[in-house]
Amino acid sequence: MLVFKFGGASVQDAEGLRRLLRLVQTYGGDSLWIVVSAMGKTTNLLENVVQAVRDDRWPEAMEFWGQIREAHLERIRPLRLESGPMSSSPECPDLEQVLDTWMNRLLEELHALRGSQLSYNCFYDQVVGYGELLSTALVSAYFEQNKWGHRWVDARDLLVTDATWRDARIQWDVTVQRIQEVQSQSLRNQKGVTCVLTQGFIGRDGVSGRSTTLGREGSDFTASVIAHALHARELWVWKDVDGVMDADPRLFPMARLLPTLSYLEAVEMTYYGATVIHPKTIQPLQNKGIPLRVRSFLHPEAPGTLIGGTDNTDQRHSCVIVKKNQGLLELVSKDFSFISEEGLSMIYRALYEQGLKANLARHTAVSFSLVVDNDRYKLQPVRDALSPFFEIHLTEGLSLWTLMHQSDKMRRGLLSGKQWLFEQHLNDIYQYVVVE
């Protein structure tokens, strides 16, 4: 059996939905799970809805709600026209009706949550997962229009998590059991295929029953959890690039495809910020030796990248990873005391509580410098928590360049004309805090 994952870019328009069905029919084999993210940039719009409701700007929240509806309507309009009036029947729901059912559920949820005492992060999780619910409901209706038998499953009934809102941790035993139950209950369709369709990114807190999310870009991880639970033959993630390249092709048009990568290399690349795969994706696959294929939905005939197998230290691939929009946070203890373990743990706790990570860190006797994602909503509470103890200075407009397994000459070439504040290296991984 195979697991396919389709991200936001693959379902951003009507052609994306048509293509998804073709790929499923052509490459899906006879037992397939399909994990789909929210369409296009829906999750960002839902984040705007959350912010507006929390700030008591209801009319603005409704404007964003309207934009989400309109964007989906535009995606499905060509599909409705092509399937004709006969397509709407109790067995085959009209795509616009499906859209409105889910948009109204979202609206009801917003009304119910408005004025509630929930924490911001918990509130966020009750709302943003609607992007995935909407997209899979529409894909499901489109499958029905095209008589592609499948079963739609609410991923919140499968992925049981803790209550770490916005970064929920999977409770593995019960999650694996539920996924296996669905697999064993699923029936073959007319073409002899068992096909299950579900959402990425969302789960449910096993205690409160509230919706949770796995962290932004977390749908790759959902697909990996499912592949792990079912001992899948392979997981294929369909992307808008030819596979994993030695640099982000959006930033480096000359980037080259890496046809194979070991699990360890993939873990390292994602850890340092290669956004092509979510960092949590690799481990559940590696535990079971399940290969991960990164393939292009635009050139499906191309082989893409195959991730798997053990690491060969002599054959490490060189690559470049650029994390943009970074800030350098410099902390000097107010009484000039040494930076102690206690001070460090306070700093790391403040970051952890905001879901921030030290992308690079170094300390001297009395100062500590951290490179972090420059997200002002998250950094302000960090500064508030630490300012009684430290003088804090933030330098903005930076990016963090990680050059892995490159020769001196390659590094010099890449950095020519660049200015950087400082560098660090460990073995042959070099990092530079570059002024943008």
Question: Which positions lie near Mg ion, rule CB under 5 A?
Answer: 7, 217
Give the residue from 364, 362, 355, 376 showing the smallest Cα distance to 425: 362
28, burial (CB in 10 Å: exposed 0-12, middle 13-18, buried 19+): buried
Select from 164-172, 211-219, 285-293, 337-345 the region that touches ligand ASP (CB under 6 A): 211-219
> Measured from the CB atom, is 205 or 220 closer to Mg ion?
220
> Measured from the CB atom, is 171 or 318 closer to ligand ADP?
318
Report in angstroms how near the CB of residue 310 gets to ligand ADP at its nearest. 21
Give how far Cα 173 sits from Cα of 159, 160, 180, 229, Å: 10, 9, 11, 9
Give how far Cα 16 sits from Cα of 7, 24, 36, 156, 309, Å: 10, 12, 12, 25, 32
**Residues in 170-209 at the binding interface with ligand ASP, rule: CB under 6 A:** 200-201
Query: Cβ-closest residue to ligand ASP?
Result: 219
Report in angstroms how near the CB of residue 419 gets to ligand ADP at its nearest. 23
Q: How many CB atoms lie within 10 A of CB 394?
A: 14
201 binds, among ligand ASP, Mg ion, ligand ADP, none (CB under 5 to 8 A by kind): ligand ASP
CA 48/CA 57 separation, integer angstroms: 11
Strands (E), 151-279: 151-152, 160-161, 194-199, 202-205, 211-213, 234-239, 260-261
179 binds, among Mg ion, ligand ASP, ligand ADP, none (CB under 5 to 8 A by kind): none
Among 28, 131, 243, 284, binds ligand ASP (CB under 6 A): 131
For position 166 contacting ligand ASP by CB under 6 A, the verdict is: no
Give how far Cα 3 sits from Cα of 30, 56, 227, 236, 360, Å: 11, 41, 6, 6, 34
> Measured from the CB atom, is 41 or 357 closer to Mg ion?
41
Among 205, 217, 265, 268, binds ligand ADP (CB under 6 A): 217
Q: How many CB atoms lie within 10 A of CB 120?
A: 13
For position 244 contacting ligand ADP by CB under 6 A, the verdict is: yes
> Measured from the CB atom, is 131 or 203 closer to ligand ASP?
131
Among 2, 3, 4, 7, binds ligand ADP (CB under 6 A): 7
For position 241 contacting ligand ADP by CB under 6 A, the verdict is: yes
Total binding residues for ligand ADP by CB under 6 A?
18
Among 8, 16, 28, 243, binds ligand ASP (CB under 6 A): 8
For position 248 contacting ligand ADP by CB under 6 A, the verdict is: yes
Give the residue from 234, 230, 211 showing the smallest Cα distance to 121: 211
Among 3, 4, 8, 142, binds ligand ADP (CB under 6 A): 8
244 binds, among Mg ion, ligand ASP, ligand ADP, none (CB under 5 to 8 A by kind): ligand ADP
84 is written with which tokens? Answer: 């004709």
For position 217 contacting ligand ASP by CB under 6 A, the verdict is: yes
165 is written with which tokens? Answer: 């809102």
216 binds, among ligand ADP, Mg ion, ligand ASP, none (CB under 5 to 8 A by kind): ligand ASP
Q: What does the angle CA 351 – CA 353 – CA 358 come to, to the nearest 5 degrees?
A: 20
Report in angstroms how near the CB of residue 345 gets to ligand ADP at its nearest. 32
**Residues in 254-313 at the binding interface with ligand ADP, rule: CB under 6 A:** 274-276
Strands (E), 156-239: 160-161, 194-199, 202-205, 211-213, 234-239
| 41 in Cβ contact with 135 (< 8 Å) | no
Report in angstroms how near the CB of residue 242 gets to Mg ion at its nearest. 16
CA 233/CA 150 separation, integer angstroms: 20
For position 431 contacting ligand ASP by CB under 6 A, the verdict is: no
200 binds, among Mg ion, ligand ASP, ligand ADP, none (CB under 5 to 8 A by kind): ligand ASP
Burial 7-18 (b: 16+ CB within 10 A, else e): bbbbbbbbebbe
| 370 in Cβ contact with 347 (< 8 Å) | yes
Among 182, 195, 245, 261, binds ligand ADP (CB under 6 A): 245
| 47 in Cβ contact with 77 (< 8 Å) | no
Among 13, 47, 60, 240, binds ligand ADP (CB under 6 A): 240
Residues at the contact surface with ligand ADP, assessed by CB under 6 A: 7-10, 37, 217, 239-241, 244-245, 247-250, 274-276
Residues at the contact surface with ligand ASP, assessed by CB under 6 A: 7-8, 37-38, 43, 131, 200-201, 216-219
